[in-house]
Amino acid sequence: MKIVVTGPFESGKSTIIHNITNGNCINVEVNGTTIAMDHGVANINGMNVFLFGTPGLLRFTTMRKILSEGADGLIFVVDSSDPESDARAKLFFREVPFFLPGVPCVVAANKQDIGSARPVEELQKSMSFVAGLPMIPCSGETGQNVDSMLRTLLYLIMMQWSSVFQKFAEHSGKPNGLELLTKDLNISKQVAVGYLRKFELRKLLEVDVGDKRFVVQDNVRQFLENPVLILKK
Ligand SMILES: Nc1nc2c(ncn2[C@@H]2O[C@H](COP(=O)(O)OP(=O)(O)OP(=O)(O)O)[C@@H](O)[C@H]2O)c(=O)[nH]1
Ligand SMILES: [Mg+2]
Residue 8 and residue 78 in contact, taking contact as beta carbons nearer than 8 Å = yes
Check if 54 has its Cβ closer than 6 Å to any atom of ligand 1.
no
Write down the architecture of domain 2-159 according to CATH.
3-Layer(aba) Sandwich (3.40)
Please give the DSSP secondary-structure letter assigned to residue 206.
E
**What pLDDT is attached to residue 232?**
87
Phi, psi dihedrals of residue 78, rounded to the nearest 5°: -125, 155
Mean pLDDT of 149-157: 98
Stated pTM of the model: 0.96
Please give the DSSP secondary-structure letter assigned to residue 76.
E
Chain segment 158-197, per-residue pLDDT in tens: 999 999 999 999 999 999 999 999 999 999 999 999 999 9
pLDDT band for 142, please (50, 70, 90 cuts).
very high
- Cβ count near 187 (within 10 Å): 15
Chain segment 98-134, per-residue pLDDT in tens: 999 999 999 999 999 999 999 999 999 999 999 999 9
Cα 88 to Cα 8, 10, 26, 35, 161, distances in angstroms: 6, 11, 25, 17, 32
Q: What is 162-231's CATH number? A: 1.10.10
Average pLDDT along the chain: 96
Question: Residue 215, class by beta-carbon neighbours within 10 Å (0-12 exposed, 13-18 middle, 19+ buried)?
Answer: middle
- Cβ count near 129 (within 10 Å): 14
Check if 15 has its Cβ closer than 6 Å to any atom of ligand 1.
yes
**What pLDDT is attached to residue 36?**
92
Check if 9 has its Cβ closer than 6 Å to any atom of ligand 1.
yes
* Portions of the chain given CATH number 3.40.50.300: 2-159
Relative to the CA of 34, which ligand 1 atom is closest? Answer: 23
**What pLDDT is attached to residue 14?**
97
**What pLDDT is attached to residue 32?**
93
* Portions of the chain given CATH number 1.10.10: 162-231
- Cβ count near 163 (within 10 Å): 10
What spacing in Å lies between the alpha carbon of 110 and ligand 1's midpoint? 9
Chain segment 195-217, per-residue pLDDT in tens: 999 999 999 999 997 879 999 99
**What pLDDT is attached to residue 233?**
78
Please give the DSSP secondary-structure letter assigned to residue 91.
H
Check if 81 has its Cβ closer than 6 Å to any atom of ligand 1.
no
What residue's CA is closest to ligand 1, atom 30? 111
> Does residue 17 register a pLDDT over 90?
yes
**What pLDDT is attached to residue 28?**
94
Helix (H) or strand (E) holding 188: none
What spacing in Å lies between the alpha carbon of 225 and ligand 2's midpoint? 35
